[in-house]
Structure 1
Amino acid sequence: MGVRDGWKLFMPDTTSFVDWSASKISRSSPSQLGPRLGVDASGWMFAAKYHHVQTKNPAQASLFKRLGRLFHLPILLVFVFDGPKRPVHKRKKQIRRTTDWLTADFKRLLDGFGFAYWDAPGEAEAELAMLSNLHKIDAVMSEDFDALLFGAQCVIRINNESDSQYLIDVYENDNQFPPHELVAIALLSGGDYDASDGIKGCGIRTAVEIAKTGIGKQLADALKNCTTDDFRRVTLAWRRDLCDVLEKGVDPLNSRHRSLVSHIPLDFPNATVVSQYLRPLMSQSKGGRRMPVTPLPSLPDIPKLAKLCGELFTWGDSQDIINKFGDHVFPGLAVRELLRAWYKRRGVEPHIERTFTPQAIINQACSLRSNQQRRSSSELYVSLTITPQIIHQITSSVAGSYNVVTPEPTVNQWTVRAWLPRVLTLHALPNFLDNSQLQKKEDSKMMNSSVIIKSPRQKSGSAIEISSDDESKTVTS
């Protein structure tokens, strides 16, 4: 999406999401609260509708699972939705400006997880690029190349989102292609807003050569201060200059492209398309709404999320919901406990700490993940004890739901294990590993192909074997 073969212009860095966030945390200044990520919500909804699983409300189930994966990470998130004034034509289709049917449930899930969101006045990608340029976020998560075209400095795409891996491709635009060059490439080779697919015979490589002549900057500079009424006059003048460049050939063109001149339409470039690329509607635009705030840490609304899951999904009784939360929610609570400890050690503003007070649920480290083919080379396997208060919030919230059995009052607390970011853990709790046997186990693991670790969740006489490929197996002694 965006520009055909546009992603091939960049060489992404493939890494795990955990390691990306760890690198941001390690290099953060004392005033920073963690990595900040802006997410293209509309792209998520588009993908969720094509995620077919045998469950009630499969699109919502897909969104819940993906939100849970991000909730496990020490990242401050903001989701941006397309707004009511987005372009009416895109990808040769007419876009309805009505609210997507999935939007309401998606926003309810975001409220449950405690993630920030808002509606852009126009395109979400343009709004996210604006936030990137204003340094309110560190990266944009989107599958749409237009995010880079609008000026985003860093864009993240999903590489592998399986149960065992969460790999991302990180695209950094270190002025290799300024936005005005990417706009020129889109106009020449075809983009989302251009129904004619650009100039016939002009592929991505040729478009890059032409854009590097400075013709794109010339157009952007000419339109910077002109009124909308002058757009057509300016674009026609630019068309003449483009034809001169193609006929005469200028550096760094490898050769002249006279044959392309005959394929340039008389009305090229379309003034409306140029305006959509160079003057997208954003909160910062003249007449736009107030500027959005920087994403801040927040806690989930456990009762609201539990009640919503009971309504949307056929998970069974409250104990089944607790089991699901063990996979998708409770590890994120532990990450927020670590964030709070990290903020406290750095002397973060008191008002942040007062409004961000997760309950202590982290017990002890069990093992260290060191297989890069898994999610990360730097995760700790930690035991968590979910407090009676959290369990009560879940059971009381789902009691009486139409598809949930009344919960048994005997469930008081819950013990689960989760992989937590090692870098954040050691920044937040420097002495966390001092009293554990983890280091001895890891030293022993280096001398042996596997090591046997006692597990408090197993019956006496059983143990968990942590083998070299990080697969857990139960063995009997």
Structure 2
Amino acid sequence: MGNADLRAVAVIEDVSFEELAGSVVAVDAHNWLYRYLTTTVKFTNESVYTTQSNEEVANLIGLVQGLPKFFEADVTPVMVFDGGVTDLKSDEVERRREQRERAEEKQQAAEDAGEPVEAARLEARTQRLTETIHETTRGLLDRLDVPYIEAPAEGEAQCAHMAAIGDADYAGSEDYDTMTFGSPRTLRQLTSKGNPELMDLQATLEKHDIAYEQLVDVALLMGTDFNEGVSGYGPKTAVKAVKAHGDIWAVMEAEDVYVENADRVRELFFDPPVTDDYDLDLDIDPDMQAAREYVTDTWEVPAGEVERGFERIEESLVQTGLDDWT
């Protein structure tokens, strides 16, 4: 999820959802969905989201619980799904896999010890986006007419690109690397109960009196999803070093440090694999009956688990004046 040290560098402020009314947000779908998926698993009996054929679709409950927040604020989400994983991210992917495996072992131990609450907490940490979750997420988005696109590689890079060229007003991601991919304005905490946070690229550059390229170099020194960073280089030290020497190459030479794959990671941030080959229809016209049937009939989720979410979506259509929605 990027290096959280970047938070201490970035200019971040709270904004209300009311301030976002009428805007379009390119949402890092894997990032957003995973948070609702894990929350659902943590607090819901698995029998509720497990079909008779033993397929788990907790994501459908999460989607119905999470999407109303956008509709009620008159915000249009465009869900952006990851494509292939960049090879530079292989170490990060392996680290997350090992974390899941450790959580699975602890979960089994908690179950054996008769500790259901702890077992549920640990099960939430073992979740991954299966083929069924991918299929059913897109299936429900289709019926709700929520636009989505497939990124060539990193979803947060595609979100940043869409915000940069004006196809979205904001990128939406918990990943701090979204800003180093060049997103002018990034919304975080979209899945929290409180207000989202706005991470502002230009304000960040002005605060530290640095260029965008130098911000990327600061991130490389601290570490990103694509490189380890240098021990001892936190936010203050990294900014000071880059400002003193100009760029990452001069820092490495002057301070006798080394950032592995610095040239490749830099290039990835400056010119990531993204696409403009999409056609966004933002006139959302959901088929609520089809959405309900898909969740409750096709995928066997009890209606009581999702009805309030569907009602909130319907109510939001009236509140925002979009009475041509069905």
- Equivalent residues of 1:137, 1:294 under 8 A apart: no
Q: Secondary structure at the match of 1:37?
A: strand
Structure 1 residue 280 corresponds to structure 2 residue 272: yes
Structure 2 unaligned residues grouped into runs of 5+: 50-56, 98-127, 206-210
Aligned to 1:198: 229
Counterparts in 2 of 1:294 and 1:326: CA distance versus 1, 3 Å: closer
Counterparts in 2 of 1:212 and 1:312: CA distance versus 1, 3 Å: farther
Q: Deviations over 1:241-285 (max 9, x none)?
A: 3345x4xxxxxxxxxxxxx42xx23x744443333223211115x
Counterparts in 2 of 1:321 and 1:3: CA distance versus 1, 3 Å: closer
Aligned to 1:300: 286
Q: Secondary structure at the match of 1:170?
A: strand
Structure 1 residue 189 corresponds to structure 2 residue 222: yes
- Equivalent residues of 2:185, 2:198 under 8 A apart: yes
* Matched ranges for 1:447-462 at <5 A: none
Aligned to 2:36: 48
* Matched ranges for 1:124-163 at <5 A: 124-158=155-189, 161-162=192-193
Task: Give the counterpart of 1:315 among 302, 312, 319.
Answer: 302
Task: Give the letter aligned to residue 215 of structure 2.
Answer: L
Task: Give the letter aligned to residue 291 of structure 2.
Answer: L
Q: Secondary structure at the match of 1:305?
A: helix
- Equivalent residues of 1:76, 1:297 under 8 A apart: no
Q: Secondary structure at the match of 1:65?
A: helix
Task: Report the Cα distance in structure 2 between the residues aligned to 1:280 and 1:16, rounded to whole angstroms.
Answer: 31
Q: Deviations over 1:330-389 (max 9, x none)?
A: 1132145x146xxxxxxxxxxxxxxxx336xxxxxxxxxxxxxxxxxxxxxxxxxxxxxx
Aligned to 1:255: none
Using CA pairs under 8 Å that are at least 6 residues apart, name the structure with larger relative contact order, 1 or 2: 2
Q: Count how many residue pairs are aligned between Structure 1 and Structure 2.
A: 276
Aligned to 1:386: none
Task: Report the Cα distance in structure 2 between the residues aligned to 1:147 and 1:278, rounded to whole angstroms.
Answer: 12
Structure 1 residue 174 corresponds to structure 2 residue 202: yes
- Equivalent residues of 1:87, 1:123 under 8 A apart: no
Q: Deviations over 1:383-440 (max 9, x none)?
A: xxxxxxxxxxxxxxxxxxxxxxxxxxxxxxxxxxxxxxxxxxxxxxxxxxxxxxxxxx
Q: Return the offset for 1:202.
A: 1.7
Task: Give the counterpart of 2:325 among 335, 345, 358.
Answer: 358
Q: Return the offset for 1:295.
A: 5.3
Q: Secondary structure at the match of 1:109?
A: helix
Q: Secondary structure at the match of 2:241?
A: helix
Counterparts in 2 of 1:99 and 1:326: CA distance versus 1, 3 Å: closer
Aligned to 1:119: 150
Counterparts in 2 of 1:75 and 1:278: CA distance versus 1, 3 Å: same
Give the share of equivalent positions with the same residue, in percent: 22
Task: Report the Cα distance in structure 1 between the residues aligned to 2:241 and 2:60, rounded to whole angstroms.
Answer: 45
Task: Report the Cα distance in structure 2 between the residues aligned to 1:168 and 1:322, rounded to whole angstroms.
Answer: 24
Q: Return the offset for 1:20.
A: 1.8
Task: Give the letter aligned to residue 39 of structure 1.
Answer: V
Aligned to 2:24: 36
Task: Give the counterpart of 2:311 among 309, 312, 327.
Answer: 327
- Equivalent residues of 2:152, 2:273 under 8 A apart: yes
Task: Report the Cα distance in structure 2 between the residues aligned to 1:8 and 1:210, rounded to whole angstroms.
Answer: 16
CA RMSD across the alignment: 2.9
Q: Which has the higher helix share?
A: 2
Aligned to 1:226: none
- Equivalent residues of 1:71, 1:113 under 8 A apart: no
Task: Report the Cα distance in structure 2 between the residues aligned to 1:206 and 1:69, rounded to whole angstroms.
Answer: 39
How high is the TM-score relative to the length of structure 2? 0.74
Task: Give the letter aligned to residue 80 of structure 2.
Answer: V
Aligned to 1:80: 80
- Equivalent residues of 1:86, 1:121 under 8 A apart: no
Structure 1 unaligned residues grouped into runs of 5+: 23-33, 220-237, 247-259, 285-289, 341-356, 360-477
Task: Give the letter aligned to residue 286 of structure 2.
Answer: P
Q: Return the offset for 1:21.
A: 2.3
- Equivalent residues of 1:38, 1:139 under 8 A apart: yes
Counterparts in 2 of 1:82 and 1:322: CA distance versus 1, 3 Å: closer
Aligned to 2:118: none
Q: Secondary structure at the match of 1:89?
A: helix
Q: Secondary structure at the match of 1:192?
A: coil
How high is the TM-score relative to the length of structure 1? 0.52
Task: Report the Cα distance in structure 1 between the residues aligned to 2:141 and 2:173, rounded to whole angstroms.
Answer: 17
Q: Secondary structure at the match of 2:204?
A: coil
Q: Return the offset for 1:136.
A: 1.2
Task: Report the Cα distance in structure 2 between the residues aligned to 1:175 and 1:322, rounded to whole angstroms.
Answer: 40
* Matched ranges for 1:213-224 at <5 A: 213=244, 215-216=246-247
Q: Secondary structure at the match of 1:136?
A: coil
Q: Which has the higher strand share?
A: 1
Counterparts in 2 of 1:171 and 1:114: CA distance versus 1, 3 Å: same
